[in-house]
Amino acid sequence: MQIVFLNTFEKLGEGQRIDSAQLSICENQGIWAVLWVELNEESEDPITWFEGTSWEEMIVAFRHGIARVMGEGYAPIIDGMLDDRRSTTGSFVTMLQCYGELHANQELFQKLREWRRTKAIAEKRSAYLVATNRMLWMISAFVPKTADELAQIPGWGSAKHASYGLEVLEITSEADRETEFPLQWVSDKLDSIAYTQWLYKQKETKYKSQMDRQQAKKHILTAVQQGGSLEQLGVELELSRRELMDRIEQLEQEGYDMESLITRELVEMPDDEQQLVWDALSLVGDKYLKPVLQQVYGTLEASQLNKPVDVLYERLRLIRLRFRRSLTSKAV
């Protein structure tokens, strides 16, 4: 096995002891391996972070592991290990985000979560579109009492304030607070070690998400090749049909052939109905599907449709994949 990369990491252990570890990337006949060895342990057997043929997957696993161990206090002898080139000192916005997570008023946070849940249900939209957890953590930690103070919470812009500002301020008005606005004091009060660990945790979460998406991608491609269905994939990956279709469309854009899946999913849809959808895409365009739906099914009441509207939209998306592929092939 050939070592193509090697770096040593150190951290301060118990009793001022320096704990050391080595991280290596190895290659053997097209098989990549990422190995981590803690040199102060009695057994110096390596821990395998990754083993496989994909360079892309190997790099993400490599970065995910680095972010995790650096969050635990390890520092590399050769720095610049992560890909984003940004200083690990972060920014004032990330300081506010970190302080919000570490010092959230849990009682106030739960009240804000309940308000968000009720609002999301009423507006029939995802809760994170109303407000993210990170935003609610900051609001609960800093407890803004006025519109000007609320505007200092990162991400809380004029549109959100117009929609939700009065309701949020009504909730925060009942809570006590120990800090003041403006929030410049955060950079001095925030514990530097906790902040550094938090920054690396964000990187670890980012790379973990990338690893999960890569695994889901492999799963989808394998299932498509083996004759799997959207229903099967949704259950196995614990994704909604809409999220799954987003992944399918992304894979199609990347050049993967989804035609066998499309054919299986449309087997119950009559050819003449598929042709109507194709003609509508040609007529009104393929950017938005609502005009296509209205063009094909607009004269029918919901009770007259033989399938629920969400199923019809899914079929439109599948046919649109074919339609776009045909446009691409013509352009070539």
| Residue 329: per-residue pLDDT | 77
Instruction: Give the model's pLDDT for residue 85.
Output: 44
Q: What is the pLDDT of residues 81-128, one digit of tens each?
A: 565 544 455 699 999 999 999 999 999 999 999 999 999 999 988 899
Q: Whole-prediction pTM value?
A: 0.74
Q: Is 59 exposed, middle or buried (0-12, 13-18, 19+ CB in 10 A)?
A: middle
Q: What is the mean pLDDT of residues 238-259?
A: 93
More confident residue, 263 or 43: 263
Q: How confident is the model at residue 304 (pLDDT cuts 50, 70, 90)?
A: low
CB environment 114-140: b (16+ within 10 A), e (fewer): ebbeebbeeeeeebeebbebbbbbbbb
Position 53 scores a pLDDT of: 92
The pLDDT value given to residue 16: 79
Grade residue 226 by pLDDT with cuts at 50, 70 and 90: very high
Q: Determine the Cα–Cα distance for residues 139 and 151; give it in Å rounded to an integer.
A: 10
Residue 90 CB partners (closer than 8 Å, separation 6+): 98, 195, 199
**pLDDT given at position 118:** 96
Q: For the residues 247-263, what does the mean pLDDT come to?
A: 94
Instruction: Tell me the C-alpha distance between 216 and 72, whole Å.
Output: 28
The average confidence (pLDDT) of the chain is: 91
Predicted pLDDT of residue 8: 94
Reported as a single tens digit per residue, the pLDDT across 305-331 is: 677 888 999 999 999 999 999 988 776
Would the CA dihedral through 228, 229, 233, 236 be positive or negative? negative
- pLDDT at position 43 is 67
Which pLDDT band holds residue 222 (cuts at 50, 70, 90)?
A: very high
Edge to edge, what strands does the sheet with 18-28 contain? Answer: 47-52, 31-38, 18-28, 2-12, 75-76
Q: What is the pLDDT of residue 86?
A: 47
Residue 270 pLDDT grade (very low, low, confident, very high; cuts 50, 70, 90):
very high
Residue 187 in tokens: 């950079």
Q: Residue 12: pLDDT above 90?
A: no
Q: What is the rounded CA–CA span in Å between residue 111 and residue 169?
A: 12
Residue 152: which residues within 8 A CB-CB, separation 6 or more?
A: 142, 144, 181, 182, 183
* pLDDT band of 64, cuts 50, 70, 90: very high
pLDDT (tens digit, 9 = 90+) per residue, 117-144? 999 999 988 899 999 999 999 999 999 9
Residue 279, pLDDT score: 96
pLDDT at residue 300, rounded to an integer:
62
Q: What is the pLDDT of residue 84?
A: 52
- pLDDT tens-digit profile of 144-201? 999 999 999 999 999 999 999 999 999 999 999 999 999 999 999 999 999 999 999 9
CB 109 within 8 A of CB 138: no
